[in-house]
Chains A and B, each alone.
Chain A
């Protein structure tokens, strides 16, 4: 067996990475298509505030981050549904407020208590058994939620007003999606880092959007791109001795560039379509 699969820490890294490669694009598909690509990043700012508050109050950073992101996500969702026109601006204010709180809490806390680098970039190579269990339970909940409510979620992502008219519980589903997004960000923070979580929610979906023709294929292809980037990223990072999180993000970016060319080739958009007018052609022939 290859060395990369033999060591226990690498086995845990593989499993954690694979689970993240499934969960993040699964949720990310709905977020990107609702033009909320930056929400994962923004919730990361709020999670950061939660960690800093936890360190100050002596609570577990994972739990304090989870509480902060869930509350933040619910508030953001409420604002989004009521003030659609200025939602983007208000979201930015939430995110900066999270960052501001994090800085203030950190400055008050003279004893330290958390490692900023591990929160931002995570550490796939130091995933513990309990970390793995948390991510596995989160993954199971996410897959169940999407499998059960796939079609209502598809409806409200495409056309929220018509989904409301059809009597779907749009507000409840939006809230559930917001809570799952928040939990994904907060619980996977220590494993893959805030930067990688938000990147994994967006870039595989962006790749799939270049090549997919339907909603279902967008979700499946985004998971495929996520898995490919985790496998390639981990292998490259292991042998080249690079940071796994960053390598995975760069692999995803390379896949995205590739998918743009592949998508164009597939849809025949690489050249403008030639339109023929028979009258002009006849005139040209007569002139000739």
Chain B
């Protein structure tokens, strides 16, 4: 399998010592990676570095062998943030409008949705079971439904890599299980590589193949159950 993400000697420092450093790993195409660890261990920061929104203090990230700062094929990357609708419950944007935002990127700034785009939107609304909700305001939906919308938005351009920042935060247990099952399906059926920050260790253990455990500067990268074992044994100890 092709190694599509390479992280070399990566480190991050807010100015008060390393949050993590000397992080080295390679992620294969089709892998499902859970990023786990304590609060403040740098999980979301790492994801933002992968999304090229935050700059690392040291080290490099490569997509398909290209350094992230020179990488320009962002259509291949889908990003699901920590729920932005939670902070803006009254924001007047419909479910359909949110998903259509996924059609935009650097090269399609002035692009107007065409017939093929509309068809793709319909497919996604059906796939994520959002047809009935498409004209509702995003703030009127439950946390689980909102996350399905953001997942659909990330999938519009048929990405090869999905980056998810704690997608199940503020979501009830049943919706969490359904969200993880959906991610697993996307990963297994469509071959999309998933990198996901998660606090739900049991669900992550079921869905992911590999895991990166960040615990106060100590990084462990490997098979998901070994990483979880490491987290249970040492994660709390280092705190």
Decide: B101 and A151 in contact? CB cutoff 8 A.
Answer: yes
| B106, CB-defined interface residue at 8 Å | yes
Decide: B84 and A166 in contact? CB cutoff 8 A.
Answer: no
Decide: A161 and B92 in contact? CB cutoff 8 A.
Answer: no
Decide: B97 and A214 in contact? CB cutoff 8 A.
Answer: yes
Contacts of B206 in A (CB 8 A): none
| A9, CB-defined interface residue at 8 Å | no
| A215, CB-defined interface residue at 8 Å | yes
Decide: A213 and B92 in contact? CB cutoff 8 A.
Answer: yes
Number of interface residues of B (CB under 8 A): 33
Q: Which residues of chain B from 47 to 99 have a CB within 8 Å of any chain A CB?
A: 48, 51-53, 72, 74, 77, 79, 81, 84, 88, 90-94, 97-98
Contacts of A236 in B (CB 8 A): none
Decide: A164 and B53 in contact? CB cutoff 8 A.
Answer: yes
CA of A208 to CA of B106 in the docked complex: distance in angstroms?
31
Contacts of A218 in B (CB 8 A): 92
Decide: B84 and A167 in contact? CB cutoff 8 A.
Answer: no
Decide: A159 and B97 in contact? CB cutoff 8 A.
Answer: no
Supposing A158-B98, A213-B137 touch, asked if A165 and B104 sit within 8 A by C-beta, the answer is no
Decide: A213 and B94 in contact? CB cutoff 8 A.
Answer: yes
Decide: B91 and A158 in contact? CB cutoff 8 A.
Answer: yes
| B174, CB-defined interface residue at 8 Å | no
Contacts of A169 in B (CB 8 A): 106, 109
Decide: B104 and A166 in contact? CB cutoff 8 A.
Answer: yes
CB distance from A233 to the nearest CB of B (A): 25
Contacts of B53 in A (CB 8 A): 161, 164-165
Decide: A213 and B101 in contact? CB cutoff 8 A.
Answer: no
Interface-central residue, A159, A163, A209, by most chain B CB under 10 Å: A159
Contacts of A215 in B (CB 8 A): 92-94, 97
Contacts of A167 in B (CB 8 A): 72, 74, 105-107
Decide: A161 and B81 in contact? CB cutoff 8 A.
Answer: yes
| B135, CB-defined interface residue at 8 Å | yes
Supposing A162-B79, A167-B72 touch, asked if A209 and B92 sit within 8 A by C-beta, the answer is yes
Contacts of B100 in A (CB 8 A): 151
Contacts of B105 in A (CB 8 A): 166-168
CB distance from A219 to the nearest CB of B (A): 9
Q: Which residues of chain A from 161 to 220 have a CB within 8 Å of any chain B CB?
A: 161-169, 208-209, 212-218
| B110, CB-defined interface residue at 8 Å | yes
Contact with A along B11-47 (1 / 0, CB 8 A): 0000000000000000000000000000000000000
CB distance from A82 to the nearest CB of B (A): 13
Q: Which residues of chain A from 55 to 75 have a CB within 8 Å of any chain B CB?
A: none
Contacts of A143 in B (CB 8 A): none
Contact with A along B116-145 (1 / 0, CB 8 A): 000000000000000000011100000000
Decide: A165 and B52 in contact? CB cutoff 8 A.
Answer: yes
Decide: B92 and A154 in contact? CB cutoff 8 A.
Answer: no
Decide: A162 and B94 in contact? CB cutoff 8 A.
Answer: no
| A224, CB-defined interface residue at 8 Å | no
Q: Which residues of chain A from 135 to 150 have a CB within 8 Å of any chain B CB?
A: 148-149
**Nearest CB in chain A to that of B48: its residue:** A161
CA of A195 to CA of B37 in the docked complex: distance in angstroms?
52
Contacts of A165 in B (CB 8 A): 51-53, 74, 77, 79, 163
**Nearest CB in chain A to that of B92: its residue:** A218
Contacts of A161 in B (CB 8 A): 48, 51, 53, 81, 84
Q: Which residues of chain B from 168 to 183 have a CB within 8 Å of any chain A CB?
A: none
Supposing A214-B97, A215-B94 touch, asked if A168 and B51 sit within 8 A by C-beta, the answer is no
Contacts of A162 in B (CB 8 A): 79, 81, 84, 101, 153
User: Could you name 7 residue pairs across A and B whose Cβ atoms are closer than 8 Å?
Assistant: A33-B92, A148-B110, A151-B104, A158-B93, A162-B84, A166-B74, A213-B92
* Closest 7 A/B residue pairs (Cβ): A167-B106, A214-B94, A165-B79, A218-B92, A167-B74, A159-B84, A165-B51
**Apart from the given pairs A149-B109, A161-B48, A209-B90, 13 other A-B contacts in the complex at a CB distance below 8 Å:** A151-B100, A155-B101, A158-B101, A159-B81, A163-B101, A165-B79, A166-B102, A167-B72, A168-B109, A169-B106, A212-B92, A213-B135, A215-B94
